[in-house]
Structure 1
Amino acid sequence: MAEFKVVVADPDAGETYQRDVDGQDANRFLGRSLGDEVDGGAVGLDGYTLEITGGSDETGRPMRADVPGTSLKEILLDGGVGFKPTTDGERKRVTVRGAEIADDVAQVNVSVVDGDGDVAAALGEGDDEAEADDAE
């Protein structure tokens, strides 16, 4: 059974939120590729649309949009996702994962592209300081 950590980015607020999904909610991501849009109901954001922007497998290898499928592939990189060169012209062979989400993926990064209202409120994320003030 698939199980992912989904990192939801809210570009309007500049915040990110993490959610663990499994079961039927995780199955909504299987077979999707980077750039695809999914229903936000899988992470508790009913009425929102999310775009898959990235992810990584259990060993930390990043997903790349230019690698098809779900398999691992060694590619020669001069920058971008998976490698940051330290000198001009530096290249390195790096193992990356394909753009399609499979059971091997541990983390999926998504961004909110459509929906009305406050994402933090929809996810049940409150202002910790305000809650602490209310408790006193």
Structure 2
Amino acid sequence: MAEFQVVVSDPASGKTYQREVEGQDANRFLGRELGEEVDGAAVGLDGFTLEITGGSDNAGRPMREDVAGANLKELLLEGGVGYKPSREGERKRITVRGREVSDETAQVNVKVVDAEEGEVAEAYGEGGEDDEDADDE
């Protein structure tokens, strides 16, 4: 049974919202790849479209768009998703996960596509700008 932490980003307001999804709602994400769009009903946003932007597995290994499938792969990286070099020219072998969402995925990052400011906060029943704890849920 798939279970994810979904982090929903609202580009219009700059806020993020975290939701646990499991069962049927989590199955909507399985097999999808980074960049694909998903119906927002899975995270309580009926009528919204979400784009999958990233994610990670239980060990914190990030998903990379240039790795096919959902398997682990070791890459020699000079920077980018999964590795930030401490000095110029430094490279390191890093284990990353592929771009496909699978049962191994623990967190999925999504962003709301085509929504106006405040609509996502209203859908989650939050008070808007006066609500400073919107990110803490």
2:18 counterpart residue number: 18
Identity across the alignment (%)? 70
The structure with more radius of gyration: 1
Q: 1:114 Cα deviation (Å)? A: 2.4
Which ranges in structure 1 are unaligned for 5 or more consecutive residues?
A: 131-136
CA RMSD of aligned residues (A): 1.5
Q: Which runs of 4+ in 1 moved over 2 A?
A: 114-117, 124-130
Give the TM-score normalised by structure 2: 0.90
Q: Given that residues 50 and 114 in structure 1 are in contact (C-alpha distance below 8 angstroms), is that contact kept between their aligned partners in structure 2? A: no
Q: Are positions 1:39 and 2:39 aligned together?
A: yes
Which residues of 2 match residues 104-123 of structure 1 at below 5 A? Answer: 104-115=104-115, 118-123=119-124
1:48 counterpart residue number: 48
CA distance in 1, matches of 2:15, 2:115: 16
Which ranges in structure 2 are unaligned for 5 or more consecutive residues?
A: 132-137
Q: Secondary structure at the match of 1:121?
A: helix
1:8 counterpart residue number: 8
Q: How many residues align?
A: 130
Q: Given that residues 72 and 95 in structure 1 are in contact (C-alpha distance below 8 angstroms), is that contact kept between their aligned partners in structure 2? A: yes
CA distance in 2, matches of 1:93, 1:119: 39
Q: 1:128 Cα deviation (Å)? A: 9.3
